[in-house]
Amino acid sequence: MIFLRSLLFSILMSLATVIVSLIAIMILPFPVIFRIKVIRVYSLVVIFILKHLCHINVSVEGIENIPKNTSIIFSKHQSTWETLALQIYFPPQTFVIKRQLLLVPFFGWGLSAMKPIAINRGAGRSAINQIVKQGIERLKNGICIVIFPEGTRGQPGQKMKYKVGGAILAVESGYPIVPVAHNAGSFWSKGQFLKKPGTITMVIGPTIKTEGKKAEDVMSESETWIESEMKRIQPE
């Protein structure tokens, strides 16, 4: 049954992706925040299907920590799930992504409508400068920035090196960071076709102020909080 449910979910998610991507193309002339709000419906639909078809629920801790104002979201990255769930719980947002994602048919079209910060991972300092310049522009326009500090999805229990680019953006822009930990990889992990039933725990941490701090200190504070929560909700 898990296989059949996962297969049906994949089919329905693919159909939803095609439909929303075509809608995203049609609404390109509209303001970016409007486009983001429209695409948010896609996340609501996919999470709804995941819950009722694959029996994957979510328990959110720290929902009171979600800021009403624009912020930078630092999230653990284990699954496709968090790219959808964050859009549901947080204000209008876009992502820092690898630019190759924009080339993916349909999915990339919809993603481009959200005006993401698409970087070349191998560009080094140039990529960081791009994150800072475009990130400040998005933040000033009322769009939250979602950053996965590890850069790529990891497996449950895996800890990868945190990259400092997002912290540099936070320090130079002065916007606060909201750290997020979750164990979605235990139910829908990287490269995993089967969706395992259960309840994902997502923890939203207190805002981390960035003004007057060094990027390395901000990164260390964010990493310490996220990884300490990961040990609690997803023991090795």
64, burial (CB in 10 Å: exposed 0-12, middle 13-18, buried 19+): exposed
Residue 162 CB partners (closer than 8 Å, separation 6+): 149, 150, 219, 222, 223
For helices 81-89 and 32-54, the axis angle rounded to 10 degrees is 120
pLDDT, one tens digit per residue, over 81-120 is 999 999 999 999 999 999 999 999 999 999 999 999 999 8
- Model confidence at 234, pLDDT cuts 50, 70, 90, reads confident
pLDDT of 137 strictly over 90: yes
- State the pLDDT at residue 213: 93
pLDDT, one tens digit per residue, over 64-79 is 999 989 999 999 999 9
pLDDT, one tens digit per residue, over 187-205 is 999 888 999 999 999 999 9
Domain boundaries along the sequence of the chain: 2-233
Amino acid at 40: R
pLDDT of 174 strictly over 80: yes
Tokens of 48: 């709804």
Place of tokens 């968090």: 82
DSSP type of residue 208: B
Torsion of CA 134, 35, 48, 67, to 10 degrees: 50
Amino acid at 231: K
**C-alpha span between 99 and 113 (Å, rounded):** 14
pLDDT of 236 strictly over 90: no
Q: Residue 134 is inside which H or E element, if any? A: helix 125-140
**C-alpha span between 215 and 202 (Å, rounded):** 25
b/e per residue 149-183 (b: at least 16 CB within 10 A): bbbebbebeeeeebbbbbbbbbbbbebbbbbbbbb
Q: What is the CATH number of domain 2-233?
A: 3.40.1130
- State the pLDDT at residue 36: 97
**Among 18-22, 154-158, 178-182, the least confident range:** 154-158
pLDDT, one tens digit per residue, over 215-229 is 999 999 999 999 999
pLDDT of 123 strictly over 80: no
- State the pLDDT at residue 122: 74
The pTM score is 0.93
b/e per residue 86-101 (b: at least 16 CB within 10 A): bbebbbbbbbbbebee
Residue 181 CB partners (closer than 8 Å, separation 6+): 75, 76, 202, 203, 205, 225, 226, 227, 229, 230, 233
Tokens of 212: 């007057």
- State the pLDDT at residue 157: 86
